[in-house]
Amino acid sequence: MGTVAAHPSSTELLLRVAFGVLGDLMRCWHYPVAPMIVGLILGPMAEGQFRRALQVSLGDTFVFFKQPASATLLVLTALALVAPLVFKGPRRVKSDDA
């Protein structure tokens, strides 16, 4: 209530309501909130570094695969994104048949 009293704005109030509803839906659907908060904090910094790397390499996206460390991290990130979909798929099919 302190921020609403300090800056009374209908836009800020609507944003608080929207984020509250989003947080409640995430809790109902068992989505973890912590990774989203970390992403909101680190996302702009990562985007700035990504832009800087592209500027240095003159727009060449292959620069991320030239170094073994960065290529390994990119492959591990892709696996981390795809693995839950691959491993959850067969369990979902088995539970639907039973």
pLDDT score for 39: 86
- Residue ranges per domain, the chain? 1-31, 33-60, 67-98
Digit-coded pLDDT (tens) for 18-48? 988 988 998 898 888 788 888 889 999 999 9
**pLDDT-derived band at 10, boundaries 50, 70, 90:** confident
Q: Is 75 a residue whose pLDDT tops 90?
A: yes
**pLDDT-derived band at 64, boundaries 50, 70, 90:** confident
Measured CA to CA, the distance from residue 5 to residue 7 in angstroms comes to: 6
Give the rounded percent of residues in the chain with a pLDDT score beyond 70. Answer: 87
Closest of 80, 43, 78 to residue 64, by C-alpha: 78
Q: Is 92 a residue whose pLDDT tops 80?
A: no
Distances, alpha carbon 16 to alpha carbons 34, 59, 64, 70, 83, in Å: 18, 38, 38, 38, 34
Measured CA to CA, the distance from residue 72 to residue 92 in angstroms comes to: 30
Q: Which residues contact 3 (CB under 8 A, 6 or more apart)?
A: 12
* DSSP character at residue 8: -
